[in-house]
Structure 1
């Protein structure tokens, strides 16, 4: 690779995305963060072990694919400060150190097993990502395309909000009883009270006073949850867009990415025939009503969109934490072979619970900036 002049400008969005992705790697690698203890082995002992005899293509591919975005983000973050060849070398060393540390710390976690194969596959994905980053950096940074897109399409100081929007499709990975039913905290609190405090209580039943729903009421609940969750997430995204941005295309792309991630996750976690099990009558109605409402709300001022996003996400949170669990979903969940994604279940569930609360917190503190787009 030939050295190129250093570009003094770097994207704050890339740095924020790198920080968020590093956090997800740490969370996925060290989950469940419990029962820490030493077994008398060096944390680097896994380097001297032989390759495991039994492994699956699925596990190897996940490790490789998981580190490709990490390599790309590292390269995009480092390249503006160093020539490309030195940036690539620094990224490889830093990424390998991160991967090695993730494996080494697993020595002290009884539920995790450090593996030289995991380290090799992680570094392979990192290397692929760095090579892709070497190709992308001149195109994105030297030609200043990232800045041009940011100025033309997005309002100033939108980085944190855009990260939250980008996490919305990822929050759909963990199976939910209702479409876009994120933030279901009551069952988790009940489980914690039972395990850690020895209090056998079902907070959901206590809140509902034992009330049960008919199948029509389940569909209505899912319609409300789907509609409000969709509108809240999309309005958050619209708050970050300039008036002249291609809003319809960007919103459509975001929704299709979200539904695609949901379908792919269901196909991998359960069976391929479950890929579109989310397309229930309640979800269909919620998507239709939500899209029709968004058609009109897309033209409202950013301040109104922000308040409506908070309102819709709050309604979704109230309903999802009040209604009982979906019996169809509970039956489907019993077929989930969790071992395939054991390393990622905790991170996925954490994100699914946290996302709407994080979005509301952002919206409460976010003040829409005036457009900087030239007329």
Structure 2
């Protein structure tokens, strides 16, 4: 049976997609952050640097470690297989490249405190890369990849800009995985004793609540406008933003149920988050009427102001105090928190560069700037 493609897809399918390469680079960065965080305390134990390759098996063996080591490298193998167009040699190439990355990670981990270099980790990482490549080959046989291309051409703009923007949205969703961080928030309310701080207004609690709501409003508005700039048709903006909000909410609920203690299940939601989200809805209702380049500029302004709110936030969430919210006692909690924190710090800069790029390109392609239209 032949797959019938829409005419619009056939007309636009000649544009090359960089999405796979963007995701490949991004997932390499994710693995390195998780494996080497917090990038400090370097030391040399004096042991031969390649000794970990010859440790007797099983060495430092736990079921949780092994499972996560496989799962972490499945997306990497999948992306490498797509890079090699799922040809016959793609699984072998993905296996070797995953093993090379894992070997580099394990080698460097010898010089980091609280890390253990393990040949068993290398084996499971390489296995994850191989499984990911095989999964990509299977999905290509089932025409899943072709269906994805049809979906992309239906909903998203063509070109490298949309590919990079979609990768940014995947990274943003990763920042929402930590259920201790408020939904759409840029600040974290710490637990434990109050920290010394002098409020600029008489009502300190009101000032903190306004800051938290403002951060949520700016963050959600920026992300919503970024989604709008990715879509092929302006009429789909509300649908796209609503889908993103529901997906982020689902992510929070799932990870809160898996990681937080039952009494702390709603640590990521409060009245300040709700007020900020409603204010963001009002701003989006206005800014979605702008032309695309003005939407990009508005999103850039929201990103900058959100960073300003984060700088104004006077309280610091210490890992020791926040750990009381979680029921997960594995060492991976440190890696998980490091990943979301690092991505939260890097993402605004990547989003800012993307929005500046998008604005300049759209301005060059268009004539005189007008806000509405």
TM tier, shorter chain? 0.7 to 0.9
Q: 2:156 aligns with which of 153, 165, 172?
A: 153
Matches within 5 A, 1:115-134: 115-134=118-137
Q: 1:323 aligns with which of 313, 317, 333?
A: 313
Partner of 2:3: none
Moved more, 266-275 or 221-230: 266-275
Instruction: Quote the offset at 1:70 in angstroms.
Output: 1.0
Measure, in 1, the Cα distance between the counterparts of 2:15 and 2:54. Answer: 39
Query: Aligned pair in 2 of structure 1 residues 93, 300: CA closer, same or farther (>3 Å)?
Result: same
Q: Give yes or no for the alignment of 1:22 onto 2:14.
A: no
Partner of 1:137: 140
Query: Aligned pair in 2 of structure 1 residues 252, 110: CA closer, same or farther (>3 Å)?
Result: same
Aligned residues: 340
Measure, in 1, the Cα distance between the counterparts of 2:57 and 2:231. Answer: 52
Does the residue aligned with 2:71 lie in a helix, a strand or coil? Answer: helix
Instruction: Quote the offset at 1:41 in angstroms.
Output: 2.0
Query: Aligned pair in 2 of structure 1 residues 324, 244: CA closer, same or farther (>3 Å)?
Result: closer
Q: Give yes or no for the alignment of 1:169 onto 2:170.
A: no
Q: TM-score, normalised by structure 2?
A: 0.78
Q: 2:274 aligns with which of 238, 259, 284?
A: 284
Offset from partner CA, 1:334-359 (integer Å, 9 cap, x none) = 44457332334333211112222332
Does the residue aligned with 1:246 lie in a helix, a strand or coil? Answer: helix
Q: Is the 8 A contact 1:39 1:108 kept in 2?
A: no
Does the residue aligned with 1:108 lie in a helix, a strand or coil? Answer: coil
Offset from partner CA, 1:33-91 (integer Å, 9 cap, x none) = 33142522242534432214662x433332222112111111111126xxx22122221
Matches within 5 A, 1:183-222: 205=197, 213-222=203-212
Q: TM-score, normalised by structure 1?
A: 0.77
Query: Aligned pair in 2 of structure 1 residues 244, 286: CA closer, same or farther (>3 Å)?
Result: closer
Q: Is the 8 A contact 2:17 2:160 kept in 1?
A: no
Q: Give yes or no for the alignment of 1:32 onto 2:38.
A: yes
Q: 1:249 aligns with which of 225, 228, 239?
A: 239
Offset from partner CA, 1:17-36 (integer Å, 9 cap, x none) = 10111122122222233314
Measure, in 1, the Cα distance between the counterparts of 2:233 and 2:124. Answer: 44
Measure, in 2, the Cα distance between the counterparts of 1:144 and 1:53. Answer: 42
Measure, in 1, the Cα distance between the counterparts of 2:186 and 2:278. Answer: 19
Q: 2:92 aligns with which of 82, 89, 93?
A: 89
Offset from partner CA, 1:159-210 (integer Å, 9 cap, x none) = 22222222111112346665433389xx9xxxxxxxxxxxxxx9x95xx677
Partner of 2:77: 71
Instruction: Quote the offset at 1:134 in angstroms.
Output: 0.6
Instruction: Quote the offset at 1:290 in angstroms.
Output: 1.7
Partner of 1:350: 342
Measure, in 2, the Cα distance between the counterparts of 1:101 and 1:241. Answer: 38
Q: Is the 8 A contact 2:222 2:299 kept in 1?
A: yes
Instruction: Quote the offset at 1:145 in angstroms.
Output: 4.8
Q: 1:43 aligns with which of 31, 47, 50?
A: 50
Partner of 2:295: 305
Q: Is the 8 A contact 1:220 1:282 kept in 2?
A: yes
Offset from partner CA, 1:231-285 (integer Å, 9 cap, x none) = 0111112112222673333322222222233334444443244333222011112
Measure, in 2, the Cα distance between the counterparts of 1:19 and 1:53. Answer: 29
Measure, in 2, the Cα distance between the counterparts of 1:33 and 1:105. Answer: 10
**Unaligned ranges ≥5, structure 1:** 1-7, 188-201
Q: Is the 8 A contact 1:11 1:77 kept in 2?
A: no
